[in-house]
Amino acid sequence: MRRAALNYTPKSRPSVTDPRNSWVKRKILGVFWAVVDLLSRPAYAIPLLCNVTGSVWFFLLIGQAGEWLFISFGRE
């Protein structure tokens, strides 16, 4: 993911550089297009998906382990 993000070069988007748009709108569009461009690249999207999936599994398993410990030691 890091290598894919470091090798990222943003595409030229007229709406991001248009001086008629407000500063806030240009910044929001810039962030939006950066996210879309990164997620459309498999070199970034696949490791990100694996990382997020692993995080979800971790929190699910930790949550169940906490309940198991709570029940197994007889605490109410």
**Exposure string for 4-22, b = 16+ CB within 10 A, e = fewer:** beeeeeeeeeeebeeeeee
Q: Does residue 29 contact residue 10 with C-beta atoms inside 8 Å?
A: no
Could you give the 3-state DSSP secondary structure of residue 67? helix
pLDDT of residue 1: 75
Name which of 2-11, 23-32, 41-50, 67-76 the model is least confident about: 67-76
**pLDDT over 60 at 65, yes or no:** yes
**pLDDT over 70 at 61, yes or no:** yes
12: left (phi over 0), alpha (psi -120 to 50) or beta: beta
